[in-house]
């Protein structure tokens, strides 16, 4: 897969509040078009991988990946990043379905695939003291609406073990799943067994000292080129330190913020390895002895 550094830089700018003025609609449209083209190209290149189905559940557009196993499967809910898309990280969501998980991912209102252009964060990523449980609460509502709709669906409900839920999120989606795990107490949902947060916006929870309220296993993933978020995860008294055990932090060499999507492929095998094994350990009770093995592309690995 060809890397596109200008596109990644534009995308990074698009995530910052006020980085691209509304008047620059042409720039926004070009970014949206190129991201959509890249995702379509990835879907063509991954013809042999587990495919997503697009459904309407709880009045939301939702991508689902069904496992090929019989019986009720553990459920993983995926939340995409700001200006991302529910199918932005199919390398991972598809792999988890192949591993026997039922995966569902709602399309949030800020999704680039909605065709509405690029959205801005509701609060500054710098002034996290202004964040609260009301910030991006619509994402919480999306996840809960989809969960409830799955429970009520006569065809899908029998396929899912609703007592065994995993949460997976990237960037603002990482913020979403950490909130649902208890980072915001009034967001918390029942039956969560494990959380994997990919380069998550977790600093608001550090600022408000709420990560210690999460009583479920959390794995953080970051990268050495993810300069906006990973340093805040790994620093002293950062997101990882403030998260109660059991917890993990994995940092990949040369990985940036958007490498956790289908836009790039670097370390995707290792990202999948650590996420899948973490879910297997805490959702299925498997004895995954190599979970804390440090792979060659990992620069920092911590567990507690």
Write down the pTM of the prediction. 0.87
Contact status, residue 204 vs residue 175, Cβ threshold 8 Å: yes
Q: How far is Cα 254 from Cα 246, in angstroms, rounded to an integer?
A: 26
88: phi then psi, degrees, rounded to nearest 5: -75, -25
What's the average model confidence in pLDDT over 33-46?
Answer: 55
Q: What is the DSSP annotation of 123-139?
A: S-SS-GGG--TTTTHHH
Q: How far is Cα 85 from Cα 183, in angstroms, rounded to an integer?
A: 23
Tens digit of each residue's pLDDT (9 = 90 or more) over 218-248 = 999 999 999 999 999 999 999 999 999 999 9
Output the pLDDT for position 30: 55
284: left (phi over 0), alpha (psi -120 to 50) or beta: alpha
Q: What mean pLDDT is reported for the chain?
A: 88
Structural domain of 136: 5-288+295-303
In the chain, the number of structural domains is 1
> How many residues would you count in the chain?
304
Contact status, residue 229 vs residue 257, Cβ threshold 8 Å: yes
Nearest to 184 by CA among 241, 136, 232, 247: 136
Q: How, if at all, do strands 192-198 and 218-223 pair?
A: parallel
What's the average model confidence in pLDDT over 154-174?
Answer: 98
Cis, peptide link before residue 246, omega less than 30° from 0: yes
Consecutive H or E run containing 192:
strand 192-198
Query: How many other CB atoms are found less than 10 A from the CB of residue 298?
Result: 18
Q: Which pLDDT band, with edges at 50, 70 and 90, does 168 fall under? A: very high
Task: Give the CATH number for residue 78.
Answer: 3.40.50.1820
Q: Which pLDDT band, with edges at 50, 70 and 90, does 289 fall under? A: confident
3-state helix, strand, coil in the chain (%, to 5): 40, 20, 40
Assigned token pair, 204: 């608001």
264: phi then psi, degrees, rounded to nearest 5: -135, 170
What's the average model confidence in pLDDT over 17-22?
Answer: 42
Q: How far is Cα 218 from Cα 168, in angstroms, rounded to an integer?
A: 10
**Higher pLDDT pick, 18 / 74:** 74
Q: How far is Cα 274 from Cα 249, in angstroms, rounded to an integer?
A: 10
Output the pLDDT for position 34: 56
For residue 47, pLDDT beyond 90: no
Contact status, residue 260 vs residue 199, Cβ threshold 8 Å: yes
């Amino acid at each position: 897969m060809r890397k596109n550094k200008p596109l990644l830089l534009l995308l990074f700018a698009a995530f910052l509040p006020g980085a691209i003025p509304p008047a620059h609609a042409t720039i926004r449209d070009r970014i949206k078009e190129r991201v959509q083209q890249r995702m379509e190209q990835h879907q063509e290149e991954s013809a042999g991988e587990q495919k997503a189905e697009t459904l309407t559940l709880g009045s939301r557009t939702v991508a689902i990946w069904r496992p090929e196993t019989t019986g009720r499967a553990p459920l993983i809910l995926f939340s995409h990043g700001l200006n991302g898309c529910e199918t932005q990280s199919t390398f991972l969501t598809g792999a988890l379905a192949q591993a026997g998980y039922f995966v569902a991912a709602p399309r949030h209102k800020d999704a680039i695939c909605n065709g509405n252009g690029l959205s801005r964060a509701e609060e500054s990523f710098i002034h996290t003291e202004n964040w609260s449980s009301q910030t991006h609460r619509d994402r919480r509502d999306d996840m809960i609406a989809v969960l409830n709709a799955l429970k009520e669906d006569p065809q899908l409900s029998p396929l899912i073990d609703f007592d065994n839920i995993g949460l997976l999120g990237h960037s603002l989606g990482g913020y979403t799943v950490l909130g649902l795990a208890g980072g915001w107490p009034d967001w918390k949902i029942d039956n969560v067994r494990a959380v994997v947060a990919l380069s998550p916006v977790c600093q608001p929870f550090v600022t408000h000292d709420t990560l210690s309220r999460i009583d479920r296993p959390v794995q953080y993933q970051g990268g050495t080129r993810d300069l906006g978020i990973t340093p805040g995860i790994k620093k002293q008294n950062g997101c990882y330190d403030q998260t109660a055990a059991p917890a993990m932090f994995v940092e990949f060499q040369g990985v940036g913020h958007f490498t956790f999507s289908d836009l790039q492929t670097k370390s995707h095998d290792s990202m999948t390895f650590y996420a899948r094994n973490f879910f297997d350990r805490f959702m299925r009770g498997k004895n995954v002895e190599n979970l804390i093995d440090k792979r060659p592309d990992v620069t920092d690995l911590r567990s507690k």
